[in-house]
Amino acid sequence: MHHPSLKAFASLPAKERWFCRARLALAPLERVAARASGTALLDVGCGHGVLAALLLHEHPERRVVGIDPDARKIAWAKESVGKNPNAEFRAVTIETLAAERPASFDCVIIADVLCLIARSTWPSFLDAAFRLVRPGGRLLLKDAENDGSWRAVKALWQERLMVHVLRRTVSTGGIGFATRDELAAHVTRAGFLLDDIVSQARGYTAPHVLLTAHAPNRSA
């Protein structure tokens, strides 16, 4: 059974529709969307907008902004879920958006993006995420964790295939998974307070993990 939010992609070419279905089948994006909070949401590294479509499904009160450096994917997102007036997609960096709209999101979501960017740029990337979320707002960070398992090795080769062979995914500086302790350390260094970090690997062949954190309230 396909999630009804996939209807948003019905007008895309078959290859792109297949890609969106595969994304939803291979990653626990529904579980990520279920943890989202508030009405102003930011999907960083949104790709085609599969997660954005889930976030908007049965939530007419929400507004979702999706950003991605891959202009091809932003074009597909605009042609599909972007037709929803509550969705906005832009090919800008997180740093650019943070300068434009500081403290304007209730929830910032980063799904399977950190593993595709150079580890040296994680601090500035997460600093920008911190600037974008309003005081008390939530960060959802979904990635795969380096838990030393066969799942981690398999997931790494899968990402390499997508980036270097199929060229379906843009990597900005490297491919690699961090341990959950490393993920937590980067998030808290940026100023977030960690709520929990939970494996989402059950039912999947990749070591999915979801970290939830929040920005302190101004008075804290």
Ligand X SMILES: C[S@@+](CC[C@H](N)C(=O)[O-])C[C@H]1O[C@@H](n2cnc3c(N)ncnc32)[C@H](O)[C@@H]1O
Q: What's 150-208 look like in SS3? A: HHHHHHHHHHHHHHHHCCCCCCEECCCCECHHHHHHHHHHCCCEEEEEEECCCCCCCCE
Question: Cβ of residue 136: shortest distance to ligand X, in angstroms?
Answer: 24
Site for ligand X in 26-55 (CB under 6 A): 27, 29, 44-47, 50-51
Record the tokens describing residue 62, joined without a space: 């929400």
Backbone angles phi, psi at 114, to 5 degrees: -55, -35
Report the C-alpha gap between 167 and 190 in whole angstroms. Answer: 31
Q: How many CB atoms lie within 10 A of CB 142?
A: 23
Identified binder of ligand X from the candidate list 64, 70, 131, 213, rule CB under 6 A: 70
Amino acid at 36: A
Assess 152 for contact with ligand X (CB under 6 A): no
Assess 160 for contact with ligand X (CB under 6 A): no
Record the tokens describing residue 170, joined without a space: 């843009």
Angle 2-7-13 from CA coordinates, rounded to 5°: 100
Assess 17 for contact with ligand X (CB under 6 A): no
25 vs 193 by CB, closer to ligand X: 25
Residue length of the chain = 220
30 vs 196 by CB, closer to ligand X: 30
Three-class DSSP category at 78: helix
The count of chain residues that interact with ligand X, using the rule CB under 6 A, is 22
Identified binder of ligand X from the candidate list 5, 80, 169, 200, rule CB under 6 A: 169
78 vs 136 by CB, closer to ligand X: 78
Site for ligand X in 74-113 (CB under 6 A): 94, 111-113
Question: Cβ of residue 52: shortest distance to ligand X, in angstroms?
Answer: 9
Q: Which residues would be at the binding site for ligand X (CB under 6 A)?
A: 23, 27, 29, 44-47, 50-51, 68-70, 73, 94, 111-113, 116-117, 169-170, 172
